């Protein structure tokens, strides 16, 4: 399934406009918000990322509070979620999408064998104002992906101390962001 996803993405999006990590051997552990699984970073840029995340064992934790919208496309298995004050759980079976809007936090659980295609995206826009002969360009970047990294690194620094995994995650993420910047993808 993962090879199919990556091959469809590479066929759809030319490498001149977006770069994708096609090395599916680059799986790393991910400990964040008390949950543990493994991830494969397919795409990372300043404004978005696309990963496969999951575990055959099951996991549970906090989603984190982010500045980007996050979409969990459940590939196999089932994810449950809960918001404070709600007396009912949210259920996301295979084929469904759990949308976590920016600024929203939940408790979540991925059952044994659950894997998701996770897409996070911020909003970017440019406003151009003409002022005499000067052109003033301003931009607002909401959902800057680097702002999500402390959440992804905190459990490693305060609990697991798995520095080799932190290093590999940083190298792959940094490399993919730089590769995308080089083709003009922010």
Class of 2-147+158-177 per CATH?
mainly beta
Q: What is the pLDDT of residue 144?
A: 72
Q: Is the pTM of this model over 0.85?
A: yes
Q: What is the pLDDT of residue 138?
A: 47
Q: For 134-186, what is each residue's pLDDT tens digit?
A: 444 444 555 677 778 888 899 999 999 999 999 999 999 999 999 999 998 88
Query: Would you state the structure tokens that stand for residue 132, as one six-digit string?
Result: 């005499």
Average pLDDT along the chain: 89
More confident residue, 32 or 148: 32
Q: Around Cβ 117, how many Cβ atoms within 10 Å?
A: 20
13-40: average pLDDT: 94
Query: Would you state the structure tokens that stand for residue 57, as one six-digit string?
Result: 């064992």
Residue 129 reports pLDDT greater than 60 = no
Q: What is the pLDDT of residue 149?
A: 81
Instruction: Give the whole-angstrom CA distance, residue 135 versus residue 141.
Output: 19
Q: Are 41 and 49 in contact (CB under 8 A)?
A: yes
């Amino acid at each position: 399934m993962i090879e199919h996803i990556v091959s469809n993405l590479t066929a759809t999006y030319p490498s001149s406009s977006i770069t994708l990590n096609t090395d599916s051997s680059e799986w790393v552990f991910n400990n964040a918000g008390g949950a543990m699984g493994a991830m494969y970073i397919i795409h990372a840029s300043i404004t978005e990322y696309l990963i496969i995340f999951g575990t055959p064992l099951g996991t549970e934790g906090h989603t984190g509070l982010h500045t980007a919208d996050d979409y969990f496309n459940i590939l196999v298995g089932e994810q449950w979620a809960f918001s404070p004050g709600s007396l009912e759980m949210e259920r996301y079976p295979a084929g469904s999408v759990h949308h976590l809007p920016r600024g929203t936090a939940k408790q979540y659980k991925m059952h044994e064998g659950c894997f998701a295609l996770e897409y996070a995206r911020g909003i970017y826009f440019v406003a151009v104002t003409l002022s005499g002969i000067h052109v003033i360009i301003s931009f607002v970047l909401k959902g800057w992906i680097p702002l999500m990294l402390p959440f992804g690194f905190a459990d490693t620094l305060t609990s697991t101390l798995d520095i080799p995994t932190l290093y590999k995650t940083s190298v792959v993420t940094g490399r993919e962001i730089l590769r995308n910047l080089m083709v003009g993808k922010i």
